[in-house]
Amino acid sequence: MTPTITLDKSAVTEYPLHELIRNRWSPRAFSSRAVAAEKLGSLFEAARWAASSRNEQPWRFIVVTREDEEAFNRAFSCLMEGNQKWNHTVPVLLFGIAKRNWSHNSNPNAYAWYDLGQAVATLALQAVAEGLAVHQMGGFHKDRVRELFAIPEDYEPVVAVAVGYRGEVEDLPEDQRQREVAPRNRKPLSELVFEGDWGEPSSLASR
Amino acid sequence: MTPTITLDKSAVTEYPLHELIRNRWSPRAFSSRAVAAEKLGSLFEAARWAASSRNEQPWRFIVVTREDEEAFNRAFSCLMEGNQKWNHTVPVLLFGIAKRNWSHNSNPNAYAWYDLGQAVATLALQAVAEGLAVHQMGGFHKDRVRELFAIPEDYEPVVAVAVGYRGEVEDLPEDQRQREVAPRNRKPLSELVFEGDWGEPSSLASR
């Protein structure tokens, strides 16, 4: 059997892209190989150095690995069924949590989710540099995470993230193999980037 | 005069970080040097290939350069005064705009801002690869952007972004020079990453 670990889903781009960005995608096939603490440290370091509004750093993380079976099972139990199907081999799960309110005045921070997004995107790119992959999930039971991990009211579970080495497509459930090997797609730049006025595609998009 | 373009504000980290991430920060001193369309194209390409919930890609951008003086002035007029002070040399401004609702059912997309954050963070890292810098701003008049650029109701201006080459600290207004050369700081990992339960610093943070 050919090792599908070579599955190439790097982005097909109109403009050149740094390899770290080009090679990031969200696999479902993960190996059960453990991830060294040093590498996990670099992932969180990357998140830590993301930009945030007023340098609020409204990101927090709960991380569990299979070495702590009890905590891992607790985290796993928070995933929705569809995600549990392909997470059964994942060695590391984490939750990205947003601090809802500004530290300086306790008013709601409209950028809390935005900045958490910046942190997790940066973490995902560091993962590529480490030879790892991550797959973010909105499909998890947020109230259950709050309860099982004692998240305070001021903080909000936003995203679950699978972290590990890529695995074999053949090990995925039948119905998920097709998604795994399907080409990645994105809207064309002409629908995303406007120049001068809304809806007028940038000249960047028309070359 | 020593060219302060050599100002090194790469992150001081506990764990190794990919250089693209380590070298990203948000300067205020920008050169007026124009940015080639090819490079701008790569920035938006990077944003385009970010991850998003259900691959919704809820990010849109309006970009203006000084080549289109009228549009540039319109964008500049939307920045708050404090930001106008250091943006007077910036050659490119863009607005990051979130699509509020899911395309498949028009319900509110809770991840719209989160995913826009992912896209802009990725754009900012591609900028490092291009020798450029970006500085995100929440300090702009969102209603004015909506009005002057005819943003539809379903879309929401979230962030303004200055893009360009780094400039000389000496060219900044006096009160902004100190901020520019001040060391960058972040919370320690022990306050950001918990293991097993909320508030229990991960062992990753204690080495």
pLDDT at B198 over 80: yes
- Supply the mean pLDDT for chain B: 94
Out of 3.40.50.10470, 3.40.109.10, 3.10.580.10, 3.30.1330.10, which CATH number does the structure's domain B26-169 have?
3.40.109.10
ipTM, interface predicted TM-score of the complex: 0.96
Distance from CA of A101 to the nearest CA of B (A): 16
- Inter-chain touch B11–A59, beta carbons under 8 Å: no
**What percentage of residues in chain A have a pLDDT greater than 90?**
87
User: What is the distance in angstroms between the Cα of B140 and the nearest Cα belonging to chain A?
Assistant: 13
Q: Is B87 helix (H, G, I), strand (E, B) or coil?
A: helix
- Inform me whether the pLDDT recorded for B59 exceeds 70: yes
The correct answer on CATH 3.40.109.10 for the domain covering A19-172 is yes
What is the average pLDDT score of chain A? 94
Q: What integer pLDDT is reported at residue B205 of this predicted model?
A: 85
Give CA–CA dist B21/A89, Å, rounded: 29
- Confidence grade of residue B11 (pLDDT, cut at 50, 70, 90): confident
Q: Would you state the pLDDT for residue A95?
A: 98
Dihedral angle at the C-alpha atoms of B121, B126, B128, B129, nearest 10 degrees? 160
pLDDT tops 80 at residue A190? yes
- For residue B2, the distance in angstroms to the closest alpha carbon of chain A comes to 28
Averaged over B154-164, what is the pLDDT?
98
pLDDT digits (tens, 9 = 90+) for B92-122: 999 999 999 999 999 999 999 999 999 999 9
In chain B, the residue whose alpha carbon lies closest to the alpha carbon of A138 is B53
Residue among A49, A62, A204 whose CB faces B21 most closely: A49
pLDDT at B30 over 90: yes
Q: Which segment of A81-85, A172-176, A186-190, B51-55 scores lowest on mean pLDDT?
A: A172-176
What pLDDT score was predicted for residue A5? 61
Q: Is residue A9 pLDDT above 60, yes or no?
A: yes
Residue B146: both structure tokens together? 């909506």
How confident is the model over B129-154, as a mean pLDDT? 98
Q: Closest partner residue to B192 among A60, A129, A198, by Cβ?
A: A60
- Which residues in A lie closer than 8 A to residue B59 (C-beta atoms)? 192
Name every residue whose Cβ is closer than 8 Å to that of residue B94 and which is 6 or more positions away in sequence: B61, B62, B63, B64, B160, B161, B163
Contact A117 B115 (CB under 8 A): yes
Residue of A nearest to B12 (CA): A49
B3 pLDDT band (50/70/90 cuts)?
very low
In this prediction, residue A2 carries a pLDDT of: 42
In this structure, what is the dihedral angle of CA atoms A16, A21, A27, A32, given to the nearest 10 degrees?
130
Distance from CA of B141 to the nearest CA of A (A): 15
The pLDDT assigned to A7 comes to 83
- Rounded average pLDDT over B140-164: 98
Range with the poorest average pLDDT among A170-179, B6-15, B51-60, B170-179: B6-15
Q: Which of B126, B194, B203 sits opposite A18 (nearest CB)?
A: B126
pTM, entire model = 0.96
Token representation of residue B70? 């009228």
Helix (H) or strand (E) holding B39: helix B37-48
- Measured in whole angstroms, the distance separating CA B3 from the mean position of its chain's CA atoms is 24
